[in-house]
Structure 1
Amino acid sequence: MLKEPLWTKPFVLLILSNLFLFLSLEMLLPTLPVFAADKGGSDAQIGLIIGLFTYSAVVVRPFVGMASDKFGKKLLLILGVVICLIGTASYYAAVTIVMMLMLRIVHGVGFGISTTLYGTVASDIIPASRRGEGMGFFGTGNAIAISLGPFLGIWLMEEFGFSALFIVGACILLLAVIFTSFVKGDSKEERAQAKIAAAEPTSLLLRFVEPKALMPSLLGLLVGLSLGGVISFITLFGKETGVQNIGFFFLVLALSEFLIRFVSGRIFDTRGRFWVLFPAAIFCMVGCVILFMTKSTGMLLLAAVFYGAGFGAIFPGLQAWVIDRVEPKRRGVATATFYNAFDIGIGSGAMLLGLVATWSNYATMYLVSSVFFIIYLIVYYGYEKHLKKTSLLEAGKRP
């Protein structure tokens, strides 16, 4: 039986435009905390800067689905990327921490719009029979961005200063706008169907939250709590410990994340989600513990291998699980529910772990971040065990 085609022109364009969006973002993750520190920001304030970006994205996402029904996914997606462009280009004008916080809110709004619609449009394009594989490859843009973005951002910051960093970031987002403009928009029939679905009577809660996405979203929240600290403070961690070549952490992290997707997506589609989501969390937990013990570049890169492989399998696996659980007309709300939980985790994790670093040190912060994966493993195993028990009980009742 022939497989349904995956590598279509719209799919490739989405991967590329999504790559450019995240490349610009990843350039700022290790460098913006340094920029804020130069402006006199404390670890707690840096965590707040990261957190406000996240929460502004969370606030806007519930309205994205309704707005896309009215204006179309493509137009709204382009608008979201343009807002990100404006926010990124304006950072250099921020001479105080307060101004940085305001710009992070604007940037977060654009990011919330963009990420919700990229995921929704991708799920519409990918064949259902290849969703685990397709979402995995769609996320390769993120993997490449995690590799090149921080490396490029740190290099631009050290060689040319913050002005070059923000200008290049804005130019990359301009490329994202161009690639997105070539993605085919919704047809009139699809727009009409979306409006009909939006007009159907439903509770206020269901307009903003998809109940079927809550369990994978909870797990995404726990992953985000760890990721917020791992990525945001790694540059400052290098300065604290004296470990050199911090930029290579992101390179190895992304390479590991990219390579695991050639395996994890197919395992998800053939053997089921458990065989991806459970062992991947263990890999991430091991990566956090290695970071806690890191005293050399070699240990730093080993931590990147484990954490990258774990995250590279978990994130697209959770995305695919969310899409599998809902009807096509609910994909926008389901995607927003998942991304909101994940981003709340990142923002809260950055602020919480920033406080841990203030009270102790960055090494201890990474050990604390491993606790989130212990909770993840307990919750997810209990959930799957409950499902299995329920299924056996229902099978026993059937005549």
Structure 2
Amino acid sequence: MNATIEKNVEPGFYKTIIPIILSVFSVYLTIGMMLGILPGYIETGLKYNSIIVGVVIGTQALATLLTRSYAGKLTDTKGARLSSRIGGTLGIITGILYLTAALFSRNAATALTIILTTRILHGIAESLLVTGSLTWGIGLVGVEKSGKVMTWNGIAMYAGIALGAPLGIALFKTTGIESAFGAISLLSGLSLIITHKLPSLPVDLSHVRAPFYKVVGKVSGQGLGLAFASIGFACISSFIVLLFTQKHWGNASQAFMMFGGCYILVRIFFSSFPDKYGAYAVALISLIIEIAGQLLIGFAGSGSIAILGCCLTGAGFSLIFPSLGVMAIKKVSPQMRGTALGAYGAFFDLSLGIAAPVAGLIALWYNYQMVYVFGALSCLTAVLVLFLGEKEKADTKKTATVYNSETINNNK
């Protein structure tokens, strides 16, 4: 009986979710393309150092972070469709601004100013589209499939980053940076077309909504774990190209692709593990794998070892977001789901926004490989956060049990 139900439900699930996943994939292709070409363009084209590279990469994440509250509120009060479509529209404008920056390449200060402004807009577009898309998908297929929606959303995100980076590098080398920037607008427009026929979700305006800071407090345990775990990803996305260039290890595209490939494979084949074995256990093992990957890159003597480190980092990081994310959204009512997803995702943005400039400073003081030692230490901190959270949960449960026992005895 259950098998029959599952068989009937799954086609409907994928028919609904595929347009949303393709839309997210299109937008993250644009993000991956920028991660592939901006570090090299800023360092060699505009002649700025690694700190400026970190600031440029981190600016988008900080912009996403600062607009998570607005994105969640807009999604909950005006609808997921509207939030998603505004994000796609801003993505089109972003591509035009990147192209404008390329016209001022001979004036480094002007080009950098335009790029920083564009990174802010790109971050806002990401915030609105991802919050809207996740809420839209969960609302259409049901909260009981929220883990699966997050899993496929994550696959779309990191597949986009993994494929976008080499795509951007290839366009840059073959047809120039202008074509890579122009593709941003085309892909953002495609994200709007793909979801055009999906139904809108009803909006419940009667529900009393908690302030954003209270929602942040509710998901802060899972959010902090995600934040420290995400620093390893930030180190790869910001500096792997420059590390390969410095060490003369060849094209860094393979590093991005192997990171993304391992991330996706783990998501596909092991996405049921958090439900089967518990989010805490899965997150803990994942962090240990990610630590090993970061240390391999940090002490690599060749490009092959560094790529292996990227593989382990991708595999380890893969299940952390859905494991902790499902726990986070269960702490709020359905009417606050968009806000909760925005609050939870804000920790990821905060991590990227802070990690990239800090890693740039470490690279300037030491070298690019020390960036990945920093990534390993950050993941170790995430292990400590998870351990303390689990201990606090156990202590609270124990206190409640003792209290209930004493109450029963007193009543007797």
Residues 1:370 and 2:380 are matched in the alignment: no
CA distance in 2 between partners of 1:385 and 1:40 (Å):
49
**In the TM superposition, what is the alpha-carbon distance from 1:245 to its structure 2 partner?**
3.2
SS at match of 2:345: helix
> Partner letter of residue 97 of structure 1?
L
Q: After alignment, is 156-165 or 382-391 more displaced?
A: 382-391
Provide closer, same or farther for how the CA distance between residues 369 and 166 of structure 1 changes in structure 2, counting only shifts above 3 A. Answer: same
- Kindly provide the CA deviation profile for residues 81-134 of structure 1, in whole angstroms up to 9, marking residues without a partner as x: 110221123213212211211111222221221122122222323444443334
1:142 aligns with 157
2:64 aligns with 57
**In the TM superposition, what is the alpha-carbon distance from 1:174 to its structure 2 partner?**
1.5
1:239 aligns with 245
Instruction: Answer yes or no: is the 8 Å Cα contact 1:30–1:234 preserved in 2.
Output: no
Provide closer, same or farther for how the CA distance between residues 332 and 128 of structure 1 changes in structure 2, counting only shifts above 3 A. Answer: closer
**In the TM superposition, what is the alpha-carbon distance from 1:307 to its structure 2 partner?**
0.6
Identity rate of aligned residues, in percent? 23
Instruction: Answer yes or no: is the 8 Å Cα contact 1:136–1:261 preserved in 2.
Output: yes
> Partner letter of residue 383 of structure 1?
G
Question: Of residues 227, 231, 240 in structure 1, which corresponds to 2:233?
Answer: 227
Instruction: Answer yes or no: is the 8 Å Cα contact 1:78–1:181 preserved in 2.
Output: no
CA distance in 2 between partners of 1:67 and 1:131 (Å):
20
**In the TM superposition, what is the alpha-carbon distance from 1:291 to its structure 2 partner?**
0.4
Instruction: Answer yes or no: is the 8 Å Cα contact 2:94–2:184 preserved in 1.
Output: no
1:318 aligns with 324
Instruction: Answer yes or no: is the 8 Å Cα contact 2:62–2:352 preserved in 1.
Output: no
CA distance in 2 between partners of 1:295 and 1:245 (Å):
16
2:108 aligns with none
> Partner letter of residue 377 of structure 2?
V
> Partner letter of residue 103 of structure 1?
T
Residues 1:338 and 2:344 are matched in the alignment: yes
**In the TM superposition, what is the alpha-carbon distance from 1:220 to its structure 2 partner?**
1.7
Instruction: Answer yes or no: is the 8 Å Cα contact 1:132–1:268 preserved in 2.
Output: no
Question: Of residues 67, 73, 80 in structure 1, which corresponds to 2:87?
Answer: 80
Residues 1:177 and 2:184 are matched in the alignment: no
2:125 aligns with 110
Question: Of residues 215, 224, 230 in structure 1, which corresponds to 2:221?
Answer: 215
**In the TM superposition, what is the alpha-carbon distance from 1:203 to its structure 2 partner?**
4.9
**In the TM superposition, what is the alpha-carbon distance from 1:237 to its structure 2 partner?**
0.6
**In the TM superposition, what is the alpha-carbon distance from 1:164 to its structure 2 partner?**
1.1
**In the TM superposition, what is the alpha-carbon distance from 1:317 to its structure 2 partner?**
1.9
Q: CA RMSD, aligned part only? A: 1.9
2:206 aligns with 196
CA distance in 2 between partners of 1:261 and 1:204 (Å):
30
Size of the aligned set, in residue pairs, is 390
> Partner letter of residue 11 of structure 1?
I
> Partner letter of residue 132 of structure 2?
L
> Partner letter of residue 294 of structure 1?
A
Q: After alignment, is 223-232 or 121-130 more displaced?
A: 121-130
Instruction: Answer yes or no: is the 8 Å Cα contact 1:260–1:309 preserved in 2.
Output: yes
TM alignment of 1:261-272, pairs within 5 A: 261-272=267-278
Instruction: Answer yes or no: is the 8 Å Cα contact 2:61–2:350 preserved in 1.
Output: yes
Residues 1:97 and 2:112 are matched in the alignment: yes
> Partner letter of residue 352 of structure 1?
V
**In the TM superposition, what is the alpha-carbon distance from 1:78 to its structure 2 partner?**
0.7
Instruction: Answer yes or no: is the 8 Å Cα contact 1:229–1:366 preserved in 2.
Output: yes
CA distance in 2 between partners of 1:332 and 1:128 (Å):
12
Gaps of 5+ in 1: none
**In the TM superposition, what is the alpha-carbon distance from 1:289 to its structure 2 partner?**
0.3
CA distance in 1 between partners of 2:141 and 2:261 (Å):
24
> Partner letter of residue 168 of structure 1?
A
User: Structure 1-normalised TM-score?
Assistant: 0.92
Provide closer, same or farther for how the CA distance between residues 72 and 203 of structure 1 changes in structure 2, counting only shifts above 3 A. Answer: closer
Residues 1:164 and 2:185 are matched in the alignment: no
1:281 aligns with 287
> Larger radius of gyration, structure 1 or 2?
2
CA distance in 1 between partners of 2:60 and 2:174 (Å):
27
User: Structure 2-normalised TM-score?
Assistant: 0.89
